[in-house]
């Protein structure tokens, strides 16, 4: 319990002051196989605007699933996520953002407030879903599948903080996980995105 509390404190301190959070740079970990019949593709979702959808709507594209927040020291990663969207979107890629308020209460806003912040501050064009939980008993079904995947340090399990990233191949068969502090423009992330694009 002490180690968990200390870990949460250190991550919260880092998000308040990004200079205290070291960037993790490593070669892309091997992509992990996703179960062929994983239910995550057809689990009900709602967009930030309240429209019904599901992850299967994006099958055939390489995806980056990322839990986001508006008031974190890592929030400037939105700009790099949008850069990825601009560069690789025409090649069959999309970021899908999942706002989450489970880490330091750093996504407290309404759907309308989140949408306005993302648009006005970072010009976000990629799909944004409604606010979800990514850990604990209320964890969304998509994250039940994704949290079983280890990151570049070999660690599976709960999402660590805002802006944890999962790159899913266009055929839906493989996923690569990156820690929150690994930036979207890290060479390892770029390599995973390019490997995930449709062939």
Is residue 182 within 8 Å of residue 155, measured between CB atoms? Answer: no
What pLDDT band is residue 141 in, cutting at 50, 70 and 90?
Answer: very high
Predicted confidence at residue 28, as pLDDT, reads 61
- The three-class DSSP label of residue 188 is helix
Instruction: Report the pLDDT averaged over residues 104-131.
Output: 97
What is the mean predicted confidence (pLDDT) over 37-44? 90
What's domain 2-18+28-196's architecture? 3-Layer(aba) Sandwich (3.40)
Residue 159 in this model has a pLDDT that exceeds 50: yes
SS3 sequence of 100-127: CCCCCCCCCCCHHHHHHHHHHHHCCCCC
* pLDDT of the residue at 155: 86
What region, left, alpha or beta, does residue 81 occupy, with left being phi > 0 and alpha being psi -120 to 50 degrees?
Answer: alpha
The model's pTM: 0.86
Q: What are phi and psi of 127, to 5 degrees?
A: -65, 135
Q: 51-90 burial string, b = 16+ CB within 10 Å, else e? A: eeeebeebeebbbbbbbbbbbbbbbebbebbbebbeebee
Catalytic sites, residue numbers: 72
pLDDT tens profile 1-29: 333 333 343 444 444 444 343 444 445 66
Predicted confidence (pLDDT) at residue 149 exceeds the cutoff of 50: yes
Region 30-39: what's the mean pLDDT? 82
* Cα–Cα distance measured from residue 116 to residue 120, given in angstroms and rounded to the nearest whole number: 6
- Provide the pLDDT for residue 195: 95
pLDDT of residue 164: 97
Q: How far apart are CA 23 and CA 3, in angstroms?
A: 21
């Amino acid at each position: 319990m002490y180690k968990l509390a200390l870990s949460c404190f250190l991550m919260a301190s880092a998000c308040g002051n990004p200079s205290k959070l070291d960037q993790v740079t490593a070669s892309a970990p091997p992509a992990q196989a996703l179960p062929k019949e994983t239910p995550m593709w057809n689990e009900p979702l709602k967009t930030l605007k309240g429209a019904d959808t599901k992850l299967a709507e994006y099958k055939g594209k390489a995806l980056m699933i990322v839990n986001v927040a508006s008031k974190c020291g890592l929030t400037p990663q939105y700009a790099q996520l949008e850069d990825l969207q601009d560069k690789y979107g025409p090649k069959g890629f999309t970021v899908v953002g999942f706002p989450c308020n489970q880490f330091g209460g750093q996504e407290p806003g309404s759907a309308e407030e989140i949408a306005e912040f993302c648009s006005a501050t970072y010009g976000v064009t990629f799909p944004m879903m409604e606010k979800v939980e990514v850990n604990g008993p209320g964890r969304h079904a998509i994250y039940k599948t994704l949290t079983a995947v280890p990151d570049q340090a070999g660690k599976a399990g709960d999402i660590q903080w805002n802006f944890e990233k999962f790159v899913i191949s266009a055929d839906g068969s493989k996923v690569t996980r990156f820690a929150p502090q690994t930036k979207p423009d890290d060479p390892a992330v770029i390599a995973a995105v390019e490997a995930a694009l449709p062939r």
